[in-house]
Amino acid sequence: MLFIFTSTFAQKFNWNKNQVIAHRGAWKKNNLPENSIASLNEAVRLGCYGSEFDVWMTLDNVLVVNHDAEFQGLTIEKVNYADLLTKTMINGEKIPTLEAYLKEGKKQKTTKLILEIKPSLISKERGIEVTNASIAMVKKVGVIDWTEYISFDYDYCKRVLAVLPKAKVAYLKGDVTAEQMKADKLTGVDYHFSLYKKEGWIENAHQLGLTINAWTVNTAADMQWLLEKKADFITTNEPELLFEILNKK
């Protein structure tokens, strides 16, 4: 007798199909804290393709979500997590741990989690530890399918791919050719939008099979130019404006 089993745990995703990535979540219009759970949920509510966020590790090895090296006067890499909990965001939230942020993101299956690994101010080795720990946390929470990776450190990008060969990984700094990224198996380019003004840059990267993301794009004119150039994604503090433009097309 032949038995056919279907997994009841199979994930069914419906990722948003647009170019909008909310930079540090969708925070600006409603005056939410950047990189907060609230700004993540607002990006999800808006229907963004992705919500970008930044990861650091405290002195006692707790991964937290914050853009700057400092959180309300405390240097994250030089203090313990408990020290950060003495501070409160403007909406009452505490600084999110990466675990809490990913668990919140896992509650939905429409918006990707764009995880930026910030370059450690301590050492390259510490940064690789943060990279490894971030990947481990993604695995622990069970959000491999939700998560894409970006970094200003090229070695971190390569480390992600060494551990997760199928991950979507893009580089931010702007000093590596599309050809080199393709050779190193990165899946995308994520440069400041001004670098794409060089004639043929976007077309060449697309021919190599790389996706194009641009940061941080906050004016209608720059958004329209990138859309005309067929940019795959646009990272912005103004996701509502980008949606307005897309809805008129």
Q: Per-residue pLDDT tens, the chain, 249 aa: give them.
A: 444 433 334 678 999 999 999 999 999 999 999 999 999 999 999 999 999 999 999 999 999 999 999 999 999 999 999 999 999 999 999 999 999 999 999 999 999 999 999 999 999 999 999 999 999 999 999 999 999 999 999 999 999 999 999 999 999 999 999 999 999 999 999 999 999 999 999 999 999 999 999 999 999 999 999 999 999 999 999 999 999 999 997
- Residue 5 falls within a domain, yes or no? no
Question: What digits encode the pLDDT tens for the residues 106-137?
Answer: 999 999 999 999 999 999 999 999 999 999 99
Element (H, E) at 234: strand 233-236
- Residue 12 falls within a domain, yes or no? no
Structural contact between residues 110 and 123, judged by C-beta atoms closer than 8 angstroms: no
Structural contact between residues 169 and 159, judged by C-beta atoms closer than 8 angstroms: no
The whole-number pLDDT of residue 11 equals 76
The whole-number pLDDT of residue 2 equals 42
Structural contact between residues 178 and 208, judged by C-beta atoms closer than 8 angstroms: yes
Structural domain boundaries enclosing 112? 20-248
- Residue 214 falls within a domain, yes or no? yes
In the chain the first and final C-alpha atoms are separated, in Å, by: 55
Cβ neighbours of 123 (radius 10 Å): 9
The whole-number pLDDT of residue 249 equals 76
- For 172, what's the count of Cα atoms within 13 Å in the CB-facing half-sphere? 19
Beta-bridge partners for 189: 171, 212
| Token duo for residue 39 | 């700004």
User: Using CB atoms within 10 A of its CB, is residue 193 exposed (0-12), middle (13-18) or buried (19+)?
Assistant: buried
d(CA 170, CA 192): 12
- Residue 127 falls within a domain, yes or no? yes
d(CA 143, CA 105): 8
**Residues whose CB is less than 8 angstroms from the CB of residue 41 and which lie 6 or more positions away in sequence, other chains included:** 104
Question: What digits encode the pLDDT tens for the residues 72-109?
Answer: 999 999 999 999 999 999 999 999 999 999 999 999 99
Structural contact between residues 66 and 56, judged by C-beta atoms closer than 8 angstroms: yes
- Residue 33 falls within a domain, yes or no? yes
Backbone CA torsion sign across 94, 95, 99, 101 = positive
Q: What is the CATH number of the domain that holds 51?
A: 3.20.20.190
d(CA 200, CA 108): 37
DSSP state of 135: H
- Residue 14 falls within a domain, yes or no? no
Number of domains in the chain: 1
- Residue 109 falls within a domain, yes or no? yes
Residue with tokens 């279907």: 6
d(CA 53, CA 41): 12
